[in-house]
Amino acid sequence: MDNLVKAYKDFPLWVRILCGSGWYAASRRELQKTEIFFLVMTTFFSTAWTYATVIDGKQILINILAFGFVCSFLGAYNVSITIRVGDKYDIWSRLETTLHKGFFGFAKKRV
């Protein structure tokens, strides 16, 4: 266990915070799934936002769709950067034993 903690402490603080800091850690594949989800939601919100402005809908609906578009786009961008930083520092192979085996790293698989 000490070797795993030592390997994790070798990374700079900002890398540990960005790529998972104990309470949250995800594998590269899970982050790719999350990125695809954000991109799908970005597409949905941008399409709905476009049609809502075309049919001159309620202003609150337009604002909600615009906010959803911006949040999902920034989420996809953040996950993309996290994947690239993890690749640069080779986090995925060095910390593979510390990552949870389960659905998106949150639900541990019971053995």
pTM assigned to the model:
0.74
The residue with greater pLDDT, 34 or 10, is: 34
pLDDT digits (tens, 9 = 90+) for 14-29: 887 788 755 466 788 8
Asked if the model's pLDDT at residue 7 lies above 70, the reply is no
Cα torsion through 40, 46, 52, 53, rounded to 10: 180
Residue 62, classed as helix, strand or coil, is helix
> Domain segments of the chain: what residues?
2-6+28-101
Is the separation of the CB atoms in 66 and 58 below 8 Å?
no
pLDDT digits (tens, 9 = 90+) for 51-96: 887 666 578 888 899 999 999 999 999 999 999 998 998 887 776 6
Give Cα separations from 95 to 31, 49, 62, 90, 91 (angstroms): 15, 41, 43, 9, 6
Q: Which two tokens stand for residue 5?
A: 């903690």
So what's the pLDDT on residue 96?
66
